[in-house]
Amino acid sequence: MYQEQTIDVIKKRSSKLDGIQNIITGLNRKTKDKRINVVAIPDLLTKQGAEDLYAADRTARKIIEKVPKEGVKKWIELINADPAIKLSFKHEFRKLKVVKQFKKAWQWARLYGGAGIFLNIDDGEYPSFPINFTKAKSIKTIIALHRYELFAETQTVEKNIDNPNFGLPNYYRIQKQNNGATSLIHHDRILRFEGAELPQTLFMRNGYWHDSVLSSLKNPIINYSQSHDMLASIIQDFRQKVMKIDQFAQMIAADEDDLLIKRMEIQDLIRSNFKTEMIDKEDELDIVQTSFSGINDALKMVNNRLVEASDFPHTVLLGESPKGGISDKGESQNRDWYDYVAEEQRDVLEEPINTLLEYLMKVKEGPTKGKFLDSLSFEFLPLWQMSEEKQSEIQLNTAKRDEIYIQNQVVTPEEVAISRWGSGKFNMETTLESTNRNPLHNVDSEDTKTK
C-alpha cells in the first residue's frame, strides 16, 4: 500500500515538473513549439496565380523561359539515316514549325504544370478515334496547347497495366479560351509535356496534370523582389533631415498647421534657390543617415535561397559573374548549367520526339514515304562548347600523342587521319583497321605455337 502511494506521489510530481518544463520551453504547446505548429501544406498555383507571377516578375519569366529556350537552341541530329532522309526530315520539321511548337509546349508545361501538342493527322478518322496509319497521309499541322486548353477526361484513365498509356487518360477535350466549342481527342494524337512532378495522389487530384515549377518558387521569388525593392526605398531615404521646432506640439494643438506648412514651403524654396538652410534660432536641424550595416549579407542570403531553389546557377539566373572572374569557376558553372538543361531535355523532350519521328515515318507522304526505318534514332546536339583556346590545346596534345604512336608503329597515318577527321569534324577517338592487324596477330600466334 505504502509503495503504491509513493508511486502515485512520484507520478504527480513528474506531471508537475513536466508542466513547468512545458511552460518554460514551450514544448508540446501549439503556440510555442514549432515542431507542432509548422505543417507543410502544398500550395499549387492556380492558372491566374501562375500567369500573374509570370507576367509581373522578370525572374519568374526567366525561370519559365530559359530552360526551353536553351533546350531547343541546338535541336537534334538524326542517326543511321542517309543525307537525303535527313534533309527530308529537316524540311518536314520546318514546315510543321516543330521547334517553335515544342518550345511553346515546354514553356507552358513549366508555367501551368502540363501541356500537349495536338497532331492534326490526315487519316480520314475523327480525332476521337485512334490513328489509322493504313490510311494516314500526312501530319498537316501540330498545335501546342496548355493544360487549361487540354482537359483530361479523368473517367477514361487507362487501368490496364500492360498498356503504355497506363495511369493516364485515354481521351482529352480541347477547349480554346476564345472558342466555347470542345473537341474530343484520342491520346494517340497528343504529345504530353509534363511540369514539376507531383506525387500520384496530388497528380490525380490536379486533373491528371503535374504542377507549375513556380509553385515551390513563389516565396523565394517574392522575397527576392521585395528585398531589392525595399533596398531601393532605403537608398531614397538614405539621408533624412530632422527638424526640432520650438512649440511644435502647441502649434498643432492650436490649429496653426497652415502656418507650419507655409513655413516648410518657404524653407524648401530657400533651400532650392540658395542651397542653404534657414531656421529660427530656437530650432534645431539634424541630418540622420540610414545604416546599411548587414544589408549586403542579408541580400546574399535571399539571393542564395532563390538560386538554391531554382537549380539555376548565379551566372544564369541573376547575371552575376563568379567571384574572382569568369575563368575556371565560371566555365564550371556553365558546364553544370548545360548538364542540367541536357537532363531536362531527356526527361521532357525525348519521348515526344521519338513519337513524332515514328509517326512521320508511318504516314505515306512523310519524309520516308511510309517506310519505317527501325535503325533511325536521334541524339541531342551538345549544348556546351569549349572555348577556341581550349579546343586548340586539346588538338595540339592529341597531335603530339598521334605522332608518338605513328613513330612507334602503334597506328598508321591513315588510321589517324580517318579517326580524327573522317566524320568531317575533329574526333579524339581512334578507330583501328582490324583487317590490317589480323595477319600480325596470326604470325604472333604461329610463333608462339612453334616456341
Q: What is the pLDDT of residues 93-136, one digit of tens each?
A: 999 999 999 999 999 999 999 999 999 999 999 999 999 999 99
In a domain, 226, yes or no: no
Secondary structure (3-state) at 186: strand
In a domain, 221, yes or no: no
pLDDT computed for residue 14 by the predictor: 46
Contacts of 420 (CB under 8 A, 6+ apart): 398, 402, 426, 427, 428
Residue 353 has which C-alpha cell?
A: 520526339
Taking 80 as the threshold, does the pLDDT of residue 74 lie above it? yes
In a domain, 305, yes or no: no
Model confidence at 417, pLDDT cuts 50, 70, 90, reads confident
Which has the minimum average pLDDT: 306-315, 341-350, 413-422?
413-422
Model confidence at 163, pLDDT cuts 50, 70, 90, reads very high
What average pLDDT does the segment 405-420 reach? Answer: 83
> Could you tell me the CA-to-CA distances from 59 to 54, 223, 229, 317, 321 in Å, in that order?
8, 12, 14, 7, 17
In a domain, 131, yes or no: yes
Q: Of the candidates 361, 385, 409, which is a domain's last residue? A: 385
Same domain as 379, residue 273: no
Q: What is the pLDDT of residues 135-161, one digit of tens each?
A: 999 999 999 999 999 999 999 999 999
Same domain as 66, residue 202: yes
pLDDT computed for residue 451 by the predictor: 45
Same domain as 141, residue 192: yes
In a domain, 304, yes or no: no
Distance CA 38, CA 113 (A): 26
Between residues 197 and 324, the one the model is more confident about: 197
pLDDT computed for residue 176 by the predictor: 74
Same domain as 320, residue 373: yes
Burial of 157-196, coded b for 16+ CB within 10 Å and e otherwise, reads: beeeeeeeeeebbbbbebeeeeeeeeeebbbbbbbbbbbb
Secondary structure (3-state) at 29: coil
Between residues 311 and 84, the one the model is more confident about: 84
Mean of the per-residue pLDDT values for the chain? 82
Backbone phi, psi, residue 84, to 5°: -65, -40
Q: What is the pLDDT of residues 172-208, one digit of tens each?
A: 999 876 666 678 999 999 999 999 999 999 999 999 9
Question: Contact at 8 Å (CB) between 85 and 368?
Answer: yes
Distance CA 13, CA 263 (A): 71
Of 328, 339, 444, 451, the closest CA to residue 390 belongs to 328
Secondary structure (3-state) at 391: helix
In a domain, 182, yes or no: yes
H helix count then E strand count, the chain: 17, 10
Residue 300 has which C-alpha cell?
A: 546574399
H-type alpha helices, 144-247: 200-205, 218-236
Same domain as 148, residue 85: yes
Same domain as 209, residue 74: yes
Taking 90 as the threshold, does the pLDDT of residue 285 lie above it? no
Torsion of CA 54, 147, 353, 365, to 10 degrees: -120
Same domain as 107, residue 128: yes
Same domain as 151, residue 73: yes
Taking 70 as the threshold, does the pLDDT of residue 436 lie above it? no
Tell me the helix, strand and coil percentages in the chain, rounded to 5.
55, 15, 35
Q: Of the candidates 340, 366, 385, which is a domain's last residue? A: 385
Same domain as 94, residue 148: yes
Same domain as 51, residue 13: no
Distance CA 110, CA 432 (A): 47
Structural domain that includes position 186: 47-214+313-385
Residue 336 has which C-alpha cell?
A: 553544370
Q: What is the pLDDT of residues 16-28, one digit of tens each?
A: 444 444 544 555 5
How many structural domains does the chain have? 4
The single-letter DSSP state of residue 384 is: -
Same domain as 121, residue 250: no
What average pLDDT does the segment 357-372 reach? Answer: 94
Taking 60 as the threshold, does the pLDDT of residue 354 lie above it? yes
> Could you tell me the CA-to-CA distances from 181 to 71, 155, 187, 277 in Å, in that order?
34, 20, 19, 71
Q: Of the candidates 329, 354, 385, which is a domain's last residue? A: 385
Same domain as 210, residue 151: yes
User: What share of the chain has pLDDT > 70, as a percent?
Assistant: 79
Q: What is the pLDDT of residues 27-65, one digit of tens each?
A: 555 555 555 555 667 788 999 999 999 999 999 999 999
In a domain, 328, yes or no: yes
In a domain, 15, yes or no: yes
